[in-house]
Amino acid sequence: AQSVSQHNHHVILSEAASLELGCNYSYGGTVNLFWYVQYPGQHLQLLLKYFSGDPLVKGIKGFEAEFIKSKFSFNLRKPSVQWSDTAEYFCAVRGLNDYKLSFGAGTTVTVRA
Amino acid sequence: EAGVAQSPRYKIIEKRQSVAFWCNPISGHATLYWYQQILGQGPKLLIQFQNNGVVDDSQLPKDRFSAERLKGVDSTLKIQPAKLEDSAVYLCASSYRAGASYNEQFFGPGTRLTVL
């Protein structure tokens, strides 16, 4: 069975600071990788995804993530956060054998103005 | 285009009562998912439909949970009887079709259930 581990439960930082959220997964096969974001009072929405090719993927709102296959990791980064980046961030993995999406527990990011 | 619709948004019931949630997926989406998200955890898949057939219900507690998707469009998820540990947000998602690596799941706003 696949599992997803997010390293941080809650991250607090100031505007303009850099953000990096860790995500590791376990799965014995080829995977697709996702980061979802949930802004306060809104529904889950896709931030970025990795299927194949360049392991550095860029998403919306200046976010990017790097897939490191040897480390089973898919860390999310943003060089300079804004107050509006305050949200909960979920890493998710989908195995290509069963197409089932498994989520991590999420990381709450609070950006102070 | 309209997103995934869910109702109600909030529900409070007492244990042993029954409750039902409704989901209307994005028009044309063949695949529909129900997830349970307990506070402090990520969403967990309960059941997946492809049109009106069940693809995966391995994590659905079938002694108390049931779901249907008549006519392959709207879906209802029912809990009967509810337990305290069923308190969670129930998310519905849809995608164009399953089994394709490029598919994106679109999520609804969820129904927050509190069982007292």
Per-residue model confidence as pLDDT tens digits over A2-34: 799 998 899 999 999 999 999 999 987 888 999
Q: What is the mean pLDDT of chain A?
A: 93
DSSP single-letter state for residue B105: -
Q: What is the pLDDT of residues A80-110, one digit of tens each?
A: 999 999 999 999 998 877 678 899 999 999 9
Contact B96/A at CB under 8 A: no
Residue owning tokens 């079709």: B97
Contact B57/A at CB under 8 A: no
CATH of the domain at B26: 2.60.40.10
Paired residues of A93 in beta bridges? A33, A102
d(CA A72, CA A77): 16
pLDDT of B16: 97
Structural domains in chain A plus CATH codes: 3-112 (2.60.40.10)
> What φ, ψ does residue A99 adopt, rounded to 5°?
60, 20
Q: What is the pLDDT of residues B49-67, one digit of tens each?
A: 998 899 899 999 999 999 9
Which chain A residue shows the shortest CA-CA distance from B36? Answer: A103
For residue B71, is pLDDT > 90?
no
d(CA B6, CA A96): 29
Domain total for chain B?
1
Q: What is the mean pLDDT of chain B?
A: 92
pLDDT of B70: 82
Paired residues of A23 in beta bridges? A6
A94: enclosing H helix or E strand: strand A87-95
Question: Cβ of A3: how many Cβ atoms within 10 Å?
Answer: 11
Measured between CB atoms, which of A45, A51, A104 is closest to B102?
A: A51
Strands B53-56 and B44-50: antiparallel
d(CA A75, CA A63): 11
Average pLDDT over every residue of A53-57: 94
Which A positions 49-68 lie with beta carbon below 8 A of chain B?
49, 51
Residue-range definition of the domain harbouring residue B37: 5-115
